[in-house]
């Protein structure tokens, strides 16, 4: 996990988005396509407030399915996604195209 130390360093909150069945309490779930099948992500229903500004952070962007699903979860909770950040982007797979108008940044890009 890279999100918790980043949030701690910035003095801001942190919320987990996990695979289905990993979080306690009521959750919001979204299904998304993987290059080899389907998966589901969850967030706790009370994790963010409507209108809250969020940044989504992950280690890798490949096809963009997971990042897009995370953005969809935030939309369902009525949060505002300011941008998406990853450490590594696999540019050949064009995953950032799924994010459309959401600003996207990666530290390392590989073709």
Rg of the chain over all Cα atoms, to the nearest angstrom: 14
- pLDDT for residue 17: 96
Q: Using CA atoms, how far apart are residues 89 and 95, in angstroms rounded to an integer?
A: 8
- pLDDT for residue 85: 96
Phi-psi region of 95 (alpha: psi -120 to 50; beta: other; left: phi over 0): alpha
Q: Using CA atoms, how far apart are residues 99 and 30, in angstroms rounded to an integer?
A: 16
- pLDDT for residue 52: 96
- pLDDT for residue 33: 86
- pLDDT for residue 36: 81
What is the mean pLDDT, run by run of 10 residues, along the chain of 111 residues? 90 94 96 88 97 96 95 97 97 95 97 93
- pLDDT for residue 82: 96
The two three-digit tokens of residue 22, written as one number? 């990993």
**Residue with token string 């998304």:** 32
- pLDDT for residue 56: 97
- pLDDT for residue 61: 97
Question: Domains of the chain by range and CATH?
Answer: 2-13+47-109 (3.40.50.2020)
């Amino acid at each position: 996990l890279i999100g918790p130390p980043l949030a701690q360093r910035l003095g801001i909150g942190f919320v987990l988005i996990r695979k289905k069945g990993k979080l306690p309490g009521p959750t919001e779930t979204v299904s998304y396509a993987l290059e080899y099948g389907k998966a589901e992500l969850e967030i706790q229903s009370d994790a963010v407030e409507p209108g809250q500004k969020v940044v989504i952070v992950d280690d890798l962007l490949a096809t963009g399915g997971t990042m897009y699903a995370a953005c969809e979860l935030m939309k369902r909770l009525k949060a505002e996604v300011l941008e998406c950040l990853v450490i590594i982007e696999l540019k050949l797979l064009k995953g950032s195209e799924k994010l459309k108008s959401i600003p996207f940044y990666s530290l390392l890009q590989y073709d």
